[in-house]
Structure 1
Amino acid sequence: MSSGAKVVTAYAKQTTKTVPTTGWKILPNIKNGLSVNNTLTDSEMLSGSRIKSAGMVTGGEVAGEIETELQYGVYDELLEAAFFNEWQADARNTKLKKLSIGDTKKMFAISKDFSDINVNHVFTGCVINSLKIDITTDNLIKANFGVMGQGYQHSKETSFAKSPATATVGKPASGLSIGTIKKDGADIGICVESFSFEIDNGAEVQKCLGDNIYGGNIVAMLANISGSLTLAYGVKSHDLIVNQLTGATVSLEIPISFNETDKYIIKIPKMQVSGEIPSPSGSDLVTVDVSYTVVEESPIIEKHQA
């Protein structure tokens, strides 16, 4: 029998098809949902009886989500991978780095060890296809990384993660960690109850004839970047959602502070919004749900450090 508390996840950058033997790091997480699924295709051959012939494995998929609590600096490599880019230093400010959507694919090997029963899994050629950041009141900020992979192995002898570095303890954040939210460069001026930010890289697994059951390549398509806000209903939130009548774009900034100096700022230069007019009952606190889609310019995550 295994305990969920004894599941250990680690990851390492991967540059070849083989499992890395160095560079492993423990990855703190709430839940590692990575799994493997194979396709068993039935045979249609008749063999002289009514018992069907054995099927054959003809394909497979490596995929899943890694759910975490957003911590300062701990998931920077995975954020890079989700943006298909690298953190860029700011020429005028050595304490500032920026991350935007790019075309640089990063691959990882990710292990999932049930350490108490010594059953060990590794998923290779992994790409971060999606990212979701959820911010609500009264909760820690959550981040979900959607993973697609190209290989899988298992072992009942030893972990594939060789001598992993111990987990980095990061600084968490909550809904109380959010600073002044800005719309078009000025204070949004209305209560924001929740905010979400999502990247879907639209990655596709390319399979070719031959020995590549989980795919030989992963190719990112058009990035779909979207999210939502829940706002108290008032003149300011009305002024935001009426932009859907013309398709006009607005900008948004969400600062996440981990202490006085260390913070991320999610900046969305251009987004189009949509939302329905609220229909509350007499006992409801009136809010409006706003959906947005990022257009024309890349969103940016700024990393400010001491």
Structure 2
Amino acid sequence: MTIATGSRHSLAYIAEATYGATPATPAFRQLRHKSTTLALTKNTMQSEELRGDRQIADLRHGTVQVGGDMQGELSYGAYDDLFAAALGGSWNANVLKAGTARTSFTLERNFADIGQYLRYTGCEINGLHFDVQPGAIANVTFDVIGQAEAVDANIVAGATYVAASANRPMDALSGAIKEGGQVLGVVTELKLDLANGIEPRFVIGSAKTLQPSIGRSNLTGTLTAYFLDGSLLAKFIGETESSLELTLSDGTNSYVLLLPRIKYTGGQADVANDGPITLSLPIQALYDSATGTQLRITRSGA
């Protein structure tokens, strides 16, 4: 008896021309990942009928949607399509800014050891998360919301597969952070979280959602740094606007994430033991008229 194992699991994706429909003879692109929680979920409707024997008379399946996340190690060229979808923009001269475009994907999971495929259609990127810590590979996570799932023992007719980029993962040791235009060399952790506010829209006559509604592009995060002086805390206290720039590199290729206009929404210097004290600063990114975005990603590669 063969049991599916993670070592034989792969992910692939292709953009949809029509929401919820996998293109004919699709050219899937392999997606580098280290974990995923993609799954179909269903609302259930339990009968409220009263019976003398105290039993539940029936239960029905209701509306359905795909949800979960895909987590990977940041590497050059591996996630550019998903970055663009998350921001609602497109790459222009290696620069990506936030916009209003909608892109849906068909995502495919292959369990090679048991010969099974799971396909998720109408998938959009509802959230994007960066997690950067010293001495660790930079992680990126994509939150997904989709329309439907299907199980298959075969590839889509005529499907081909493009290999993922093979660049090395990026780590914080090769990175740098600028705050307010100045190098900040005391950061112990940076987390950035982009939420798109995508919500399903259900109607009578179908268990599947229409193309979901989408909310505002909301970029928040947390900067954690050793507590050296009061300069960062003073920006929170005085509601002083600043900027944040994160550079990540593999030694050859790089991404520069610029938050051109931010405000700190908190500032805590908690003490739990006799070790170094860190300052935790929640961040809210704001629209910047000079750059036309709250987040700009610039890529540079060989």
TM-score, with structure 2 as normaliser:
0.91
**What's 1:220 paired with?**
214
Deviation at residue 18 of structure 1 after TM alignment? 2.7
Matched, 1:184 2:184: no
What letter corresponds to residue 201 of structure 1 in structure 2? Answer: N
What letter corresponds to residue 111 of structure 1 in structure 2? Answer: E
The counterpart of 1:246, out of the listed 215, 226, 238, is 238
The counterpart of 2:225, out of the listed 216, 223, 231, is 231
- CA gap of 1:25–1:296, structure 2 versus 1, over 3 A, is closer
Distance 1:183 1:50 in 2: 64
Q: Given that residues 204 and 219 in structure 1 are in contact (C-alpha distance below 8 angstroms), is that contact kept between their aligned partners in structure 2?
A: yes
Cα displacement string for residues 27-79 of structure 1 (whole angstroms, at most 9, x for unaligned residues): 11001210011122112235776443222111122101000000001110000
**What's 1:4 paired with?**
6
**What's 1:197 paired with?**
192
- CA gap of 1:27–1:247, structure 2 versus 1, over 3 A, is same
**What's 1:58 paired with?**
62
The counterpart of 1:147, out of the listed 127, 135, 144, is 144
Moved more, 47-56 or 135-144: 47-56
**What's 2:15 paired with?**
13
- CA gap of 1:45–1:193, structure 2 versus 1, over 3 A, is same
Matches within 5 A, 1:59-78: 59-78=63-82
Cα displacement string for residues 253-284 of structure 1 (whole angstroms, at most 9, x for unaligned residues): 11112224x21111111111144342436621
Distance 1:30 1:149 in 2: 20
Gaps of 5+ in 1: 90-96
- CA gap of 1:276–1:186, structure 2 versus 1, over 3 A, is closer
The counterpart of 2:249, out of the listed 257, 270, 273, is 257
Aligned-partner SS, 2:135 = coil
- CA gap of 1:254–1:40, structure 2 versus 1, over 3 A, is same
Deviation at residue 195 of structure 1 after TM alignment? 1.0
What letter corresponds to residue 182 of structure 1 in structure 2? Answer: K
Counting aligned pairs with the same residue, the percent is 24
Distance 1:279 1:184 in 2: 24
Distance 2:218 2:21 in 1: 31
What letter corresponds to residue 22 of structure 2 in structure 1? Answer: V
What letter corresponds to residue 39 of structure 2 in structure 1? Answer: S
Matches within 5 A, 1:1-306: 1-16=3-18, 17-20=20-23, 21-46=25-50, 50-89=54-93, 97-155=94-152, 157-160=153-156, 162-179=159-176, 181-188=177-184, 190-211=185-206, 213-235=207-229, 238-260=230-252, 262-280=253-271, 283-297=274-288, 298-306=294-302
Q: Given that residues 76 and 301 in structure 2 are in contact (C-alpha distance below 8 angstroms), is that contact kept between their aligned partners in structure 1?
A: no
Gaps of 5+ in 2: 289-293
Distance 2:198 2:44 in 1: 24
- CA gap of 1:44–1:280, structure 2 versus 1, over 3 A, is closer
Q: Given that residues 64 and 148 in structure 2 are in contact (C-alpha distance below 8 angstroms), is that contact kept between their aligned partners in structure 1?
A: no
Aligned-partner SS, 1:104 = coil
TM-score, with structure 1 as normaliser:
0.89
